[in-house]
Structure 1
């Protein structure tokens, strides 16, 4: 496979959606602009879920209106159903993402329906978006563990991946929602999924709750995956593990990949500055170790 890894930056959506303080639309737009300027090829912008459930992203249409139409970065948005898709397209979205779970309990608590019912709801959404020429990504939650059920069968994950891919998703992102996975489990699951979905259509989405995210990404990259999700400055928490780190930091992922000799197209110094900027704006710790180390070195050298 190619020696380039595509990083899908999820900070503006997955990273900010659980922030308790309201983040103004102008700051979200500026964050998206800065991330795209760092060379990130995909920056997930927002979500068109009901504002009742995710009030932080109630300004989705305003955020979309503020994105530079000439930016080379793609800006997918999350949609839960047909109504969300209609709102997203009306706001100018040309790429969308849908979500399902590999855990029955998680699916019922998160979407109020079974896995099969969830997939039935998503099929017309995917078909409508695809027919209109929009790229569609499918997220699968709880692929390596569930906060309610514990261990999840790889076969259950493969079944959902197959369903989303056959429904028309261009890409399937495997999400370790509670960050419990280890490299062996991650590698094995990826291998199983690649038996049904082409490896080039698979992405990995690791949370760092147990400190395994980078190791898991390394294992999956060695296995052949070339798309990885991450969040600048490690924005986002894990709502199922109080006080735990959530999304793996983009700066850390870029540092890892560059150290492997893989291309990302990302300017790591600019990314570190962006992570510092948004952490300061949110009055929160910067959860990127590579970002903090690079900023300290840059400060010492006067750059």
Structure 2
């Protein structure tokens, strides 16, 4: 398909339902969720940024995850909100490819970021005497930069391959955004090569990241169980349970959605799974990481008090 032809293609996105009476409730629900995600994650990032006590590797990674969650959600929800508000449920070919690229790029980035965060907990719990040397702030920032660059570079070839597909019979995307499988489903050119390459690449990246995360937690749990003090065990578990919860939710939904061929794609089921890792995880992360974190809560309270003093 030529570039000129591809620019003329306009896709129609399902957006969950065509029923007119559901459009306003859906708009309000997703607007509310998006505001929670943005406000919650910005609060975490701002608190970490303005609290010198939180300038440690664990919180630096958490701050990066907060910005990541906002960016990840922003690839899909703003466009969905616009579609629901205007009832114009179309997206251009270029816009669809861009959305797909950034969505897959952020997904790959999260695999790597969660693995790095697991490694951070491994060093902190299993090698506490070497933690300051192995996980200094300069090292953490380098790891974050590498993770972001690697995630998006890995995605680029596949976005290019999808860009060159032909679409001739249907332009209706049975999803609420331009996801990988729904786009391949409506292509009229052969997608088997892209599917195989993407599956192999995704499996290698996901399994590598998962293996590092799994190995880190295997050693972490073994170390914690060897701790004689029950109070000490509880304290060590509390430092990694939040991250482990996010890992289980994210990997569980991603594997359920993508670890299968395009032919077994089921629109409604996949849309609900997508909501979990696109909406639910970024919305819950601020609560999961800070709800029982007294150190963070104390610094958040200090930031609030400083803001009140500044206002008066």
Give the TM-score of the pair, scaled to structure 1: 0.26
Q: Which has the larger radius of gyration?
A: 2
Relative contact order, CA 8 A, sep 6+: which one is greater? 2
Larger fraction in helix: 2
TM-score in terms of structure 2 length: 0.25
Query: Going by fraction, where is strand more abundant, 1 or 2?
Result: 1
